[in-house]
Amino acid sequence: MKIAIDGMGGDKAPGVIVEGAIEYTREFDHEVIIVGQEEVLKKELSKHDYKKDRIEVVHAPQVIDMGDSPISSIRSKKDSSISVAVKLVREKRASAIVSAGNTGAVVCAASFMLGLLKGIERPGISIIFPTSNSDNALMIDAGANIDPKSTHMFQYGLMADAYCRFLLGKNNPRIGLLSIGEEETKGTGFIKEAHKLLDDSKLNFIGNVEGRDIFTGACDVILCDGFVGNVVLKVSESLAGAVGTLLKRELSRNIVTKVGSVLCRSTFDALKKELDYAEYGGAPLLGVNGTCIIGHGSSSSRAIKNALRVATEFTKQNINEYIINGLDSYSRGR
Amino acid sequence: MKIAIDGMGGDKAPGVIVEGAIEYTREFDHEVIIVGQEEVLKKELSKHDYKKDRIEVVHAPQVIDMGDSPISSIRSKKDSSISVAVKLVREKRASAIVSAGNTGAVVCAASFMLGLLKGIERPGISIIFPTSNSDNALMIDAGANIDPKSTHMFQYGLMADAYCRFLLGKNNPRIGLLSIGEEETKGTGFIKEAHKLLDDSKLNFIGNVEGRDIFTGACDVILCDGFVGNVVLKVSESLAGAVGTLLKRELSRNIVTKVGSVLCRSTFDALKKELDYAEYGGAPLLGVNGTCIIGHGSSSSRAIKNALRVATEFTKQNINEYIINGLDSYSRGR
């Protein structure tokens, strides 16, 4: 299998992209195509010892910056690393694309160039996170669609239902809509409309859930707009880090807690790992007709390696097929 | 000083409201007026031993439920505990109102019946939270205005600037706008408009901040819409709890970490306290012409006691005066 990765996307590109790709090819038996400015990428590669038959560079002279407007940059920069990488997937020269670059631009390029699944009007980024009842849960959308319509939320519900059955092995996933109160009267107009669509559906919709319910495992799927989802994701990561810092500061205050802290260290490390999204590395963009994995802008090389791994799994397990079947069986009345 | 409290508002009302009021009058030398269904409240009070000259009950036969629509319930239920309590403030029979009831209804009642400060079109809930650089920061709006205009966000900036100078003693508070990327091109249309207004202002606007920046102390004031603010607040509380649960579970696994955990217990408790919003109890609704403190729906009696304490401090320290002066000096070009 060959995965195309945007070599120029992300705050620490191309360095960490190249390193992550090299780590991935060392650990897994697959190939990577790094897309971007050939000279820059080859120079980066030359710093490392890597398997030359596993890593290919495909030239793309243009770079879409983090601040570029998504739609217009995809239109005006036809030879950007993002567009060229997506084109490789469209032409079946690669099985999937991974990018830690401008999320909006990746979403646009993937939607326009790969097309969307039948019945889906907008793709959504889906993330998995741990909850305090030892179970995992799924959130969609984590940032693809920041100003969605209520119908998009309903479609996210349909895709998440299928994805959650497959990925988390849940038979009839409990789907919640993120709002500011449990009552159906709570929330913006758009949330109230989405509530109605979901409530009238055959999905296992449990109603509105609140921010406090996300990490308790109150539901298996959280639906939210991409703006809120992105903020929640980043707040959670940062808060986990802040708790660690606060604990460390407190624990170093006296000898008793210092000893305690040494004894607990392995646990702190395990916990940090559980809450560290770099472990997951990337999140699939559900709804596009192909595999597209969105990485964090601040991805480390480990995150990039894991994003490539996620792309491989998503493709190998044919997850899109499963979602298509789910959408189809829903539209036929199940 | 007399504080009016909504005796029927909150998930555990009237029990915890009455208990919180009793605890408050025991600890502080002030009086409380509990507003609500007289018979119910007197029955609750009769279960306790309390200072009878410090607690008064004012009858309000109607109750606004958590699911009621704010505007229409304030219009149709003129004798609700919320409306009657606000009226006590308007008539100067009480210095402040505290409610853990339907937030939207409290915001409506306070706005309509007490009026807004000059130059303010919508009030906003302001919360204070700890950051990992040992400093506190302020967020507005935490849920009063879930579909604001960009001008409201600018006005929140003005109020927060004054409030932050006073409360946190910061000379020139760094104000950030919560979005999904640092670049001014990131975010919904409304966020981009607010960015422009703030950027053109004389405030110390540092630009967009992301969810990950909230708890790092990257800025002193975070501006966001009430929907996002409410979600962030509740996610943070819940995540702090989830981290505690995960830690506990991990630490009880073997004897070494168990011993470590016992040695660290005091620290865990201190940390929990730092992240526990019940300590603060309530958050001021900035922009109304009077003191209005919004409590959590799930407030405990301790949270209610602390909300009453916040109301006392806000009134005693004449914080509205300070905000009015700030708005005034800004409009005169500082």
Mean pLDDT (whole number) for B136-160: 95
**Residue A188 is nearest to which of B132, B147, B178, comparing CB atoms?**
B147
B237–A212 C-beta distance less than 8 A: yes
Kindly report the nearest CA distance between residue A253 and chain B, in angstroms: 9
End-to-end CA distance of chain B: 34
For chain B, give the secondary structure using H, E and C.
Answer: CEEEEECCCCCCCCHHHHHHHHHHHHHCCCEEEEEECHHHHHHHHHCCCCCCCCEEEEECCECCCCCCCHHHHHHHCCCEHHHHHHHHHHCCCCCEEEECCCHHHHHHHHHHHHCECCCCCCCEEEEEEECCCCCEEEEECCCCCCCCCHHHHHHHHHHHHHHHHHHCCCCCCCEEEECCCCCCCCCCHHHHHHHHHHHCCCCCEEEEECHHHHHHCCCCEEECCHHHHHHHHHHHHHHHHHHHHHHHHHHCCCHHHHHHHHHHHHHHHHHHHHHCHHHCCEEEEECECCEEEEECCCCCHHHHHHHHHHHHHHHHCCHHHHHHHHHHHHHCCC
Question: Phi/psi zone of residue B77: left (φ > 0), alpha (ψ -120 to 50 degrees), beta?
Answer: beta
CA angle (A316 as vertex; A310, A320 as ends), nearest 5? 85
ipTM: 0.89
End-to-end CA distance of chain A: 34
Question: Do A162 and A204 contact (CB within 8 A), yes or no?
Answer: no
Kindly report the nearest CA distance between residue A84 and chain B, in angstroms: 23
- The one-letter amino acid code at B324 reads I
Count residue pairs from A and B with Cβ separation < 8 A.
Answer: 200
Contacts of A184 in chain B (CB under 8 A): 67
Contacts of A108 in chain B (CB under 8 A): none
A256–B260 C-beta distance less than 8 A: no
Kindly report the nearest CA distance between residue B147 and chain A, in angstroms: 7
Contacts of B216 in chain A (CB under 8 A): 238, 242
| Among A126-130, A250-254, B44-48, the least confident range | A250-254
The two three-digit tokens of residue A115, written as one number? 């097309």
Kindly report the nearest CA distance between residue A222 and chain B, in angstroms: 13
Contacts of B189 in chain A (CB under 8 A): 147
B132–A241 C-beta distance less than 8 A: yes
Nearest residue in chain A measured CA to CA from B105 = A186
pLDDT at B238 over 80: no
Give the list of residues 6+ apart from residue B231 with CB closer than 8 angstroms, or none.
Answer: A178, A180, A210, A211, A224, A228, A231, A232
**Closest among B252, B249, B271 to B260, alpha carbons compared:** B252
Dist. CA B274–CA A77, nearest whole Å: 49
pLDDT single digits (tens) B178-207: 999 988 889 999 999 999 999 999 999 999
pLDDT at position B278 is: 57
Q: What is the pTM of this model?
A: 0.90
B235–A69 C-beta distance less than 8 A: no
Higher-confidence residue of B328 and A268: namely B328
What are the extents of the domains in chain A?
Answer: 1-120+287-334
Question: Do A299 and A237 contact (CB within 8 A), yes or no?
Answer: no
Mean pLDDT (whole number) for A4-31: 96
CA angle (B82 as vertex; B76, B84 as ends), nearest 5? 85
Query: Would you place residue B334 in the very low, low, confident or very high pLDDT band (cuts 50, 70, 90)?
Result: low
B238–A239 C-beta distance less than 8 A: no
Kindly report the nearest CA distance between residue A66 and chain B, in angstroms: 8
Dist. CA B12–CA B298, nearest whole Å: 7
Tokens 């019946």 identify what position? B113
Question: Do B138 and B130 contact (CB within 8 A), yes or no?
Answer: no
Query: Would you place residue A281 in the very low, low, confident or very high pLDDT band (cuts 50, 70, 90)?
Result: confident
Kindly report the nearest CA distance between residue A219 and chain B, in angstroms: 14
Contacts of A238 in chain B (CB under 8 A): 211-216
Contacts of B231 in chain A (CB under 8 A): 178, 180, 210-211, 224, 228, 231-232
pLDDT at position A207 is: 97
Mean pLDDT (whole number) for B138-145: 95
pLDDT at A239 over 90: no
Q: What is the CATH number of domain B1-120+287-334?
A: 3.40.718.10
Q: Is A128 exposed, middle or buried (0-12, 13-18, 19+ CB in 10 A)?
A: middle
Higher-confidence residue of A88 and A243: namely A88
pLDDT at position B203 is: 95
Sheet-wide strand order for B205-209: B55-59, B31-36, B2-6, B96-99, B291-295, B282-286, B124-130, B136-140, B221-223, B175-178, B205-209
Kindly report the nearest CA distance between residue A138 and chain B, in angstroms: 15
CA A6 to mean position of chain CA atoms: 15
Mean pLDDT (whole number) for A42-61: 96
A132–B246 C-beta distance less than 8 A: yes
Using only C-alpha atoms, chain A has a radius of gyration, in whole angstroms, of 21
Question: Do B217 and B132 contact (CB within 8 A), yes or no?
Answer: yes
**Residue A246 is nearest to which of B68, B132, B263, comparing CB atoms?**
B132
pLDDT single digits (tens) B23-39: 999 999 999 999 999 99
B188–A274 C-beta distance less than 8 A: no
Q: What is the mean pLDDT of chain A?
A: 90
Question: What backbone phi and psi angles, to 5 degrees, belong to B149?
Answer: -90, 165
B227–A228 C-beta distance less than 8 A: yes
A69–B185 C-beta distance less than 8 A: yes
Nearest residue in chain B measured CA to CA from A134 = B246
Mean pLDDT (whole number) for A8-23: 96
In chain B, % of residues over pLDDT 90:
71
CA within 13 Å, CB half, B104 = 24
Kindly report the nearest CA distance between residue B53 and chain A, in angstroms: 37
Nearest residue in chain B measured CA to CA from A256 = B263
B146–A188 C-beta distance less than 8 A: yes
pLDDT single digits (tens) A186-236: 999 999 999 999 999 999 999 999 998 988 889 999 999 999 999 998 888
A260–B271 C-beta distance less than 8 A: no
Q: Best residue in A149, A243, A275 to probe B by mutation, most B CBs within 10 Å?
A: A243
Dist. CA A34–CA A37, nearest whole Å: 9
Dist. CA A105–CA A10, nearest whole Å: 12
Beta bridge partners of B177: B208, B223
pLDDT at position B259 is: 74
